[in-house]
Chain A
Amino acid sequence: MHIPSTFSGCAEGDQDWYELFSRGARDWLRHNEKVRQAVRDKLPEVLASADILGGEKGRTIKVPVRFLEHFRFRLRDPDEMTGAGQGDVGPGDRLARPGQQQGEEGPGQGGNEDGGVQLVLELKIDDIVDWLWEELKLPNLQAKSGATHDDDYTREGWSRRGVRSRLDRRRSLKESLKRRSVDPAGPAFVDDDLRFRQLVRRRQPATQAVVFFAMDVSSSMRDRDRQLAKTFFFWVVEGLRRQYTHLELVFVAHTVKAWEFPQEEFFQVRGSGGTVASTAFNLVREIVAQRYDPSRYNIYLFYASDGENFKDDNGPARAALGEMASVASFLGYVETPATAEQALQTETAAIFRDAIDSCPGGAFALTTNESVWDAIRAFFRDQVAAGGG
């Protein structure tokens, strides 16, 4: 006697059940997590090439990535593949190759290669800085120690009197409950139950900073050099944002003269003629004197150059920078030499090295996208050493 087969249908509503527990979606999400991890491991390549400063800052960047491949043993691609086909053709005929190859598929069906699908990963800039922090094992940056403090209101304690907007309802209800547990017949609220938040003026460590980006825009600075400097600046700012609640940016470009520019125009500025670095340092000093009191602001100066400077200007530049060193929290020198061997051998680099003796700072050579990354790391490390020390 044969047992008959059975049939069962499924109700409309069941669809949701399957979708909720989709194993395919679960494994797909896991894949994406791994992609994220892989991107994180290769941050330097990914980030240095992304055009991050351009465009409006949506606080995310988009990175195109490939699907991960689960590797298997496979024969090398032959110079010539032989296969079997079917159709109305004769020996010697040439055929158009369709998109898909006859697969060498393993057990349990495989997908073909990319298939024209591209995955775009959206990364939060904050996440990236977090990763960087984790990777460098940096402690949280500390504010500049010293006399600089902000006065600010802080919440502190409760009072029985106050304006209605500061009423703490949870507290007040607690008081009411306490009272009514003794006197269950009492009214819901009496004036004595009410609690108001109290504000007190407290001195806070300074959390504001100004970052000067000065750049040599003379004709010897190439587009690539600017791009490298720009990438570096961007990540420096992102790192500093962690440290300071108020961060102001000032952009100074110079050739034989120096000008202040808004951020949008700064990286497009193109000058001609020679390089007189002291003009930039002097302009920075003027701006500091007018707008940023060193006792209230942490001052960062970054100067990007290909290292060339007028010989006659080395003296004035040294002097101007020396003055800056006495007020600045950090002096950064970013050089974009033509080759890695020449990096930081220039007179400008020497000037900075001298200035850094009396002030925290660092000199960074940017030659390739990877070196930008190294420089950013080095900067954060120096920064922690300076700020935490």
Chain B
Amino acid sequence: MAAAIERYGQQLEGLARAQGLDFYPVQFEEVPDSFMMEVAVYGLPVRMPHWSFGVRYIYQLIQHRMGHSRLFEVVFPGNPGRAYLARGNSLQENTLVVAHVLGHADFSKHNELFRRSQQEGGYRIVDQAASHARQIAAAMEEHGQERVERVLDAALALEAHIDVFRGLRRERYAEYTAVRTIEDDTFRRRFHQLPGDERPAPSHEPRQRASIPPHPEHDLLWFIAQYAPELEGWERDIFLAVREESFYFYPVFACQIMNEGWASYWHARLLREADFLPQHEYLDAIKTHSDVVRPHAADRQASLAINPYHLGFCLWESIIEEHGLEQAFRIRNQDDDFSFIRNHLTEKLAEDLKLFRFKASRDGAVEVVDREINALRDAILAPRYNFGAPAVAVRNLDHDGTLHLVHEHASDGRGLDLGRATRVLEYVHRVWRRRVVLETIDARGAAHRIEVPAPD
């Protein structure tokens, strides 16, 4: 089969380039299902060990055994890109998958978020993650599993808490800020210029120690790595390794609808134009396509989740139909899911797709609310804000080393789950090694403060 798929693959590639797609070469590799499953669980082919991945792995295994989930491919951007094909795929499925991967490869080369993250990461996340894994294995060897795990518990729990806008490579805060002295105001300056009132030259530049952090800091991984009072070197390295991988995951997360939609659009289009495919193979491949992009299970009237493949696919189809391919390429370059949905999910499209907003109460009752477009866009995007995590920031680092975190509940709309938050603070406390405090609100909306260790 490898020979057949290689032949088709090269032809599909030529076709894609002729249509204007542009991508780094991709190394396709056929791998067993078990390997696919692990890649899906870890998010990367070789990644640091942690027991929490083991739990996800078992869920994935069970879903797989029960036939609920099927993984056709996993693709990693880079130069060269890497794609893994499940060995269980038929030739027809693989034909589709190769076309799909080319769509992803084009997207990740041109989309601004992907480009920036790859520039910062050096286009070789797969190798970096593998070297992080080695580095952590070495740390376990040297410092023992328990100690390394303690650091990973904290770092991975804060995995989503990075600040993509400030970037991967950052300098520590400036230690001093310029001081505005009373002499700075205009009147006094001019007054001092009057003859007979020479003031003594300042012996040194007036300055004062800047407070840490100078602004609410959302990149918790970075802040802890840089400012934890007693973090050891190898512990810092683990935090930075986790952080580097998070920066890699961010575009994947923030462009999921666009990216999957784009790849689905292109696999459909390339297959349609692939006159070298025998008729029956084309039909089989197209059947796979319709399975992948179907809105919801056929036996259900409605689904309480939106299939990102389907939504993205339909959005791209409508954009290309209305505005042409050139405009679509521009959108591919500039947007992420937030702007993509806000700008291009029109009222008409939402209606055609039968999207709706629902409310689910705690007792399990689910009610359809409306199809109002703005509220609908919000409902689609709400779980995607802020890397899918609550907005928690460092507010202050006290003189005694206390770490003050604050949950920005106003932007999140409600308080944190207090039990879980306490457990996360416990993880953090074990590496911060001084008091850790978090402010949020409780169920009634009253201010709530969690301290670890708990005050007497």
Chain A contacts to B: CB under 8 angstroms: 2-10, 14-15, 18-19, 22-32, 34, 67-68, 70-98, 101-112, 115, 117
Contacts and interface: CB of A to CB of B under 8 A. Distances in A.
A239 B133 CA distance: 44
A75 B356 CA distance: 23
Interface in B361-409: 361-362, 364-371, 376, 379-380, 382-383, 387-390, 392, 407
Interface in B46-90: 46-47, 49-62, 80, 87
Contacts of A86: 295-296, 302-303, 306-307, 310-311, 353-356
Contacts of A115: 59, 62
Contacts of B43: 107-109
Contacts of A80: 359-362
A293 to B, nearest CB: 51
Given A74-B420, A107-B160, A24 B301 contact: no
Contacts of B231: none
B159 A107 contact: yes
Contact of B417 (A30, A76, A89): A76
Interface stretch (B31-39, B117-125, B194-202, B269-277): B31-39
Contacts of B249: 107-108
15 contacts: A2-B25, A5-B26, A18-B35, A25-B54, A28-B54, A73-B390, A73-B420, A73-B421, A83-B305, A84-B379, A85-B303, A85-B368, A97-B304, A107-B387, A109-B40
B27 interface: yes
A23 B58 contact: no
Contact of B56 (A4, A89, A101, A110): A110
A8 B55 contact: no
A89 B390 CA distance: 32
Contacts of A2: 17, 25
Nearest to B387: A107
Contact of A103 (B46, B50, B376, B383): B383
Contacts of A74: 390, 416-417, 420-421
Contact of B10 (A3, A4, A18, A24): A4
B156 interface: yes
Nearest to A98: B304
Given A75-B416, A83-B357, A95 B304 contact: yes
A95 B368 contact: yes
Which of the listed residues A32, A76, A91 has the most CB atoms from chain B within 10 Å of its own CB? Answer: A76
A10 B30 contact: yes
Instruction: Give the interface SS of chain A, mostly helix, strand, loop or mixed.
Output: loop
A5 B41 contact: no
A52 B49 CA distance: 36
Given A24-B58, A72-B424, A80-B359, 7 more contacts: A10-B32, A15-B34, A23-B42, A27-B53, A87-B303, A109-B56, A112-B59
Contacts of B359: 80-82
B140 to A, nearest CB: 11
Interface residues of B, number: 110
Nearest to B377: A84
B416 A31 contact: no
Contact of A78 (B2, B35, B383, B414): B414
Given A28-B57, A83-B360, A94-B365, A75 B415 contact: yes
Contacts of B13: 4-5
B54 A106 contact: no
A9 B2 contact: yes
Contacts of A95: 301-302, 304, 358, 366-368
B281 interface: no
B54 A5 contact: no
A102 B296 CA distance: 13
A82 B311 CA distance: 19
Given A8-B2, A108-B249, A117-B58, A87 B389 contact: no
Contact of B27 (A6, A28, A68, A104): A6
B423 interface: yes
Which of the listed residues A77, A81, A88, A105 has the most CB atoms from chain B within 10 Å of its own CB? Answer: A81
A5 B390 contact: no
B358 A31 contact: no
A282 B156 CA distance: 65
Given A73-B416, A79-B362, A117-B62, A93 B421 contact: no
Contact of A73 (B59, B305, B424): B424
Nearest to A18: B35
Which of the listed residues B34, B52, B303, B310 has the most CB atoms from chain A within 10 Å of its own CB? Answer: B52
A34 to B, nearest CB: 6
A24 B61 contact: yes
Contact of B356 (A3, A15, A89, A112): A89
Interface string B1-26: 11001100110010001000000011
Given A24-B37, A77-B417, A83 B6 contact: no
B395 to A, nearest CB: 15
Contacts of A68: 51-52, 55
B436 to A, nearest CB: 13
Given A76-B443, A110-B56, A90 B368 contact: yes
Given A5-B27, A102-B304, A106-B388, A75 B51 contact: no
B159 A108 contact: yes
Contacts of A110: 56
Contact of B358 (A6, A19, A28, A85): A85
A6 B25 contact: yes
Contact of B25 (A5, A14, A71): A5
Contact of A18 (B32, B362, B427): B32
Contacts of B367: 92-95
A24 B306 contact: no
B28 interface: yes
Nearest to A112: B59
A87 B5 CA distance: 37
